[in-house]
């Protein structure tokens, strides 16, 4: 059981003067229990890709298959797919509408047909998972702080217990400790055999937390590999608008000037390399 | 999701034409006068002249006939409804046919045709204004038109500014609505099945976040305007001042000649 995208292409306003090719021949697959990061600059098509993953957009050519079900316009299939693929939009706190936190979080599972104790349990589980105290359940979500609102919004997606969790720029606007908490959550999700698809423009974050990274540029897939493979590749492929993390730049410089072996984004390995360089220079 | 696509607002069609370049005040004046005159035009020759006039302007301004026809679509229901009322309730002796107590008279049919045509021409003419004038020009023109009423305490500048802001934010709000709809659909919201009440209720999770966003946006916009020292219309100058030149004079003169023809036709045609 997995999520696979085969030769997916999508064009906005097809046939009009404002036509824009958002995705071109994208293929990849994602397994349960891994964190897959999709990295791309603004306008690279990554949000369009996210909307394809739970059938908000239907492929114009190619296909998206989730646990053996193809996304098409059949409402029954779409319902199943949306239940198993949770999508957290950018600034998810903007979707909050309910009077209490527990009403907000129960919106998803209620729509999927859950009632009574099972529904309540889902809400409390989701709140615990995201690190919200149970006392928040009766609070008014509009009176919470920004970070708390975002947690409520993410919990409202988690409450549907999706097998695939797609997050579009979940760290946007969060402070450093917020980012750390979120990455911890993503890691704990993937331990639960959930597939986490993390969409971001932050290459450094992606390198730190992912099992695999896809790089998207101008709607096409330019790279697909593990963080270390991607680190090696980045010096060769020039991706528009993608800023190299400082640590990788340093690693490249070391390799160029002193001929160190591996490109790495791991600070410990880099420290070892610098130590080795120092010894040889002496 | 394309729940709200297909709704087009603001039908401005940029082009380089005489009517596009005309001062918005001139166009507003002509439009208002035309509306009055169209309502006064009773006979068919006068209306034919109006139709030619509209087609002439549309051709000159490079507005496709299809787009012009489409602009009257929203009020087609109204036109048909009023026409039906006229057919059945005008009275008269020459009964063509009757459905139960409703009697369609020949006189009524003529009146219905006349009223329908009149309304249709009216809508087409006002559409010409919005086709050839950008929203910002339009609000500038309105501000100037309301100018004389400031003396009686009418906030002309403020009203024009409100209109400009409202027009500016329509596309933004559509985008935001679509995003919220997508987010709620992802959480299993269903906008398409069920009865009318159920469907209306389904929109609550869209409307509340949208209102929250709108208020936030308004707040931010107000702060941004204040930060740039906006303090109302007093002493404010324009980047592109409205200019009334020879083109406007010629247009107005042409229009008055046309008006004379129409009035004569009305009287003796």
Q: What percent of chain B has pLDDT over 70?
A: 96
Give the ipTM of the model, two decimals please: 0.87
Please give the helix or strand (H or E) that residue A85 lies within, else none: strand A85-88
Mean pLDDT of B33-58: 88
Whether residue B7 has pLDDT greater than 50: no
Q: Is the pLDDT of residue B4 over 70?
A: no
Per-residue pLDDT for A52 more than 90? yes
Asked if pLDDT for residue A38 goes beyond 90, the answer is yes
pLDDT, mean of residues A31-35 = 91
DSSP codes joined into one string, A172-217: TT--HHHHHHHHHHHHHHHHTT-EEEEEES-HHHHHHH-SEEEEEE
**pLDDT exceeds 50 at position B2:** no
Minimal C-alpha gap between A16 and chain B (Å): 14
What is the residue-averaged pLDDT of chain B? 85
Instruction: Write the CA distances from B254 to B41, B219, B248, integer angstroms.
Output: 19, 47, 10
pLDDT in tens, A262-277: 777 778 888 888 888 8
User: Is A71 near chain B, with CB under 8 Å?
Assistant: no
In contact, A163 and A192? CB cutoff 8 Å: no
Q: What is the pLDDT of residues A137-154, one digit of tens each?
A: 999 999 998 888 999 999
Per-residue pLDDT at A35 exceeds 90: yes
Contact A33, A195 (CB under 8 A): yes
pLDDT of residue A200: 92
Nearest CA in chain B to A52: B1
Phi and psi at A164, nearest 5°, equal: -125, 130
Distance CA B244, CA B240 (A): 12
Tokens read off for B8? 């087009």
Min Cα separation A260/chain B (Å): 47
Three-state secondary structure of B176-234: HHHHHHHHHHHCCCCCCCCCHHHHHHHCHHHHHHHHHHHHHHHHHHHHHHHHCCCCCCC
With CB atoms and an 8 Å threshold, state whether A160 touches B187. Answer: yes
Q: Do B185 and A112 touch (CB under 8 A)?
A: no
For residue B170 the two structure tokens come to 């329509």
- Tens-digit pLDDT profile for residues A113-127: 989 999 999 999 999
Nearest to B183 among A75, A92, A98 (CB): A92
The predicted structure's pLDDT at residue B232:
80
Closest to B248 measured CA to CA, from B29, B51, B14:
B29
Does A48 have pLDDT greater than 80?
yes
In the predicted model, what is the mean pLDDT of residues B40-51?
85
Q: Quick check: B186 contacting A, CB < 8 Å?
A: yes
User: Out of B176, B185, B187, whose CB is closest to A157?
Assistant: B187
Please say if the pLDDT value at position B94 is more than 90.
no
Q: Where are the domains of chain B?
A: 1-133+239-269, 169-236
What are the domain boundaries of chain A?
Answer: 2-99+161-237, 245-282
Query: What are the chain A neighbours of B192 within 8 Å (beta carbons)?
Result: 75
- Average pLDDT (A240-268) is 81
Write down the H helix ranges in chain A.
Answer: 46-53, 75-84, 101-111, 116-130, 146-158, 176-191, 203-209, 227-233, 246-258, 267-281
A87 chain-B contacts, CB cut-off 8 A: 183, 186
- Residue A257, pLDDT > 90, answer no
Mutate to test the interface with A, among B178, B181, B186 (most CBs of A within 10 A): B186
- Please write the tens of the pLDDT for every residue from B199-254: 888 899 999 999 999 999 999 999 999 999 888 877 788 888 888 889 999 999 99
Instruction: Give the pLDDT band of residue B15 (cuts 50, 70, 90).
Output: confident
Q: What topology does CATH give the domain A2-99+161-237?
A: Rossmann fold (3.40.50)
pLDDT for residue A74 is more than 80: yes
| B19 and B60 Cβ atoms separated by less than 8 Å | yes
Which of A111, A112, A114, A126 is the best mutation test for B, with the most CBs of B within 10 A? A111
Average pLDDT over residues B28-48: 88
The DSSP secondary-structure symbol of A97 reads -
Q: List the structure tokens of B221.
A: 């916009």
Length of chain A: 282
| Separation between Cα atoms, residue B227 and residue B220, nearest integer Å | 10
Q: Which residue in B182, B189, B190 is closest to A89 by CB distance?
A: B182
Residue window 28-67, chain A: list those with CB within 8 Å of chain B: 51, 54, 56
Q: Which chain B residue shows the shortest CA-CA distance from A161? A: B187
Asked if pLDDT for residue A109 goes beyond 90, the answer is: yes
> pLDDT class for B10, splitting at 50, 70, 90?
low
> Are the beta carbons of B17 and B61 closer than 8 angstroms?
yes
User: Do residues B188 and A83 make contact, with C-beta atoms less than 8 angstroms apart?
Assistant: yes
Q: How far is B206 from chain A (nearest CA, A)?
A: 8
Contact across the interface for B183 and A51, Cβ inside 8 Å:
no
By the 8 A CB rule, do B145 and B28 touch? yes
Residue range A57-64: mean pLDDT, rounded: 92
Residues of B in contact with A98 (CB under 8 A): 205
Measured distance CA(A69)–CA(B201) in Å, rounded:
30
Least confident range from A17-21, A123-127, B105-109: namely A17-21
* B213 touching chain A per CB within 8 A: yes
E strands present in chain B: 95-99, 102-105
pLDDT class for A196, splitting at 50, 70, 90? Answer: very high
Please check the confidence at residue B180 and state whether its pLDDT lies above 90. yes
Query: In DSSP terms, which residues pair with A21 in a beta bridge?
Result: A11
């Amino acid at each position: 059981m997995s999520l696979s995208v085969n030769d997916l292409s999508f064009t906005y306003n097809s046939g009009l003067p404002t036509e824009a090719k958002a995705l071109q021949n994208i293929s990849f697959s994602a397994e349960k229990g891994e964190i897959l990061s999709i990295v791309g600059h603004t306008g690279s098509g990554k949000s369009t890709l996210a909307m394809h993953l739970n059938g908000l957009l239907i492929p114009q050519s190619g296909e998206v298959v989730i646990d053996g079900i193809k996304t098409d316009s059949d409402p029954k299939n779409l319902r199943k797919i949306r239940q198993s693929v949770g999508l957290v939009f950018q600034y998810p706190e903007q979707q909050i509408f309910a009077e209490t936190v527990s009403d907000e979080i129960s919106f998803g599972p209620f729509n999927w047909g859950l009632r009574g104790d099972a529904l309540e349990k889902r809400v409390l589980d989701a709140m615990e998972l995201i690190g919200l105290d149970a006392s928040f359940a009766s609070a008014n979500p509009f009176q919470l702080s920004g970070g708390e609102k975002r947690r409520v919004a993410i919990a409202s997606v988690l409450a549907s217990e999706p097998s695939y969790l797609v997050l579009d720029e979940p760290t946007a606007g969060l402070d450093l400790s917020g980012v750390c908490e979120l990455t911890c959550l993503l890691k704990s999700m993937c331990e639960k055999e959930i597939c986490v698809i993390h969409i971001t423009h932050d290459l450094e974050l992606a390198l730190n937390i992912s099992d695999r990274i896809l790089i998207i540029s101008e709607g096409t897939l330019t790279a697909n590999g593990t963080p270390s493979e991607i680190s090696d590749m980045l010096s060769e492929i020039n991706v528009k608008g993608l800023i190299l993390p400082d640590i990788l730049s340093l690693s490249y410089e070391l390799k160029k000037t002193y001929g160190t072996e591996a490109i790495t984004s791991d600070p410990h390995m880099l420290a070892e390399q610098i130590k080795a360089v120092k010894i040889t220079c002496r | 999701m394309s729940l709200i696509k297909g709704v087009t607002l603001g039908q401005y069609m940029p082009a380089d034409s005489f009517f596009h370049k005309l001062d918005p005040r001139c166009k507003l004046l002509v439009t208002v006068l035309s509306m009055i005159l169209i309502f006064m035009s009773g006979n068919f020759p006068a209306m034919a002249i109006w139709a030619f006039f509209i087609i002439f302007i549309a051709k000159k301004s490079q507005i496709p006939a299809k787009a012009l026809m489409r602009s009257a679509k929203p009020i087609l229901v109204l036109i048909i409804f009023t026409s039906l009322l006229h057919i059945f309730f005008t009275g008269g002796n020459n009964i063509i046919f009757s459905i139960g107590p409703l009697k369609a008279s020949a006189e009524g049919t003529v009146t219905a045709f006349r009223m329908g045509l009149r309304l249709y021409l009216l809508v087409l003419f006002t559409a010409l204004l919005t086709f050839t004038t950008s929203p910002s020009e339009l609000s500038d023109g309105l501000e100037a038109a309301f100018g004389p009423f400031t003396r009686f305490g009418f906030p002309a500048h403020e009203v024009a500014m409100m209109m400009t802001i409202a027009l500016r934010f329509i596309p933004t709000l559509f985008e935001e609505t679509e995003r919220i709809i997508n987010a709620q659909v992802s959480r299993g919201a269903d906008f398409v099945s069920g009865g009318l009440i159920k469907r209306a209720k389904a929109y609550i999770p869209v409307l509340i976040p949208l209102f929250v966003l709108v208020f936030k946006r308004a707040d931010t916009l107000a702060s941004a305007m204040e930060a740039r020292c906006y303090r109302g219309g007093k002493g404010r100058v324009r980047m592109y001042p409205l200019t009334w030149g020879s083109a406007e004079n010629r247009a107005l003169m042409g229009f008055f000649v046309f008006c004379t023809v129409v009035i004569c036709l009305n009287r003796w045609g």
